[in-house]
Amino acid sequence: MSTILRANINSMLDKSENPEVMIDQIIRDMASAIAEARGQVADMIAQEKILQANVKRNQDLANEWQSKATLAVTSSRDDLAREALRRKNDFDENSRVYDQQLQSQSQMVDKLKSELQQLENKYEDARRNRDVLLARHRRAATQEKVAKVSAQLNTMDPSAELGRMEERIRFAEARAEAQAELQDDSMDDQFAALSGDSEVEAQLQELKQQQLGSGDRAALPSGDQSQS
């Protein structure tokens, strides 16, 4: 029974995908196997007790016929004494056979009791170690996840990624400053244009005044020119 149970447990572990579920199933299977083994051991013990009773019954009957043979001899009944001794010998033989069977049965019962005790000890160990085994499994799973994340980080090279992002940010900052400078230059050009227009307008007015003054002097009479 122990060998079969171990084989079944190993097969289940090989196919296990969820250790927590499988461990609980193994514990349930062990409990079921122990219950079945207890029933078998109980049957063997019952047979042992029957053999013990048979041995005692035949011994008692042999002793009874021994007493009857003695009584027959005392009563000078040799014929009855002979029959009593034959029956006594038959019961002695039966007792001997039953005793041999009893010895073999007792050895088998002791062996089964020992195996049952071993199964019960393993069952109790499995129940006590269940939480420890599950904690070890969870710890191993966590370590595996951390190792995978670490491998991904090593492949990705976070420092290089951060450096690349910093360059992008610096470029964005420089671009924003350039746009601000372009906006300032545009306003300066507009004001410069306005200033240039004012200067041209002043020159135009001055030219007009000069032309106007020149025209007035040409329109005056000659007498007026002499008087002047």
pLDDT digits (tens, 9 = 90+) for 80-116: 999 999 999 999 999 999 999 999 999 999 999 998 8
Q: Give the pLDDT score at 225.
A: 46
The structure tokens listed for 150 are 């670490």
**Structural domain boundaries in the chain:** 2-156, 162-212
Nearest to 15 by CA among 25, 3, 4: 25
Residue 150: the pLDDT is 67
Residue 95: C-alpha distances to residues 73, 91, 217 (Å): 24, 6, 176
The answer to whether 65 touches 82, Cβ cutoff 8 Å, is no
pTM: 0.50
Q: What is the pLDDT of residues 104-161, one digit of tens each?
A: 999 999 999 998 898 888 888 888 888 787 777 677 777 777 777 666 656 655 666 6
Span 51-62, pLDDT tens digits? 999 999 999 999
Residue pLDDT, tens place only, 189-218: 666 666 656 676 777 777 778 888 766 555
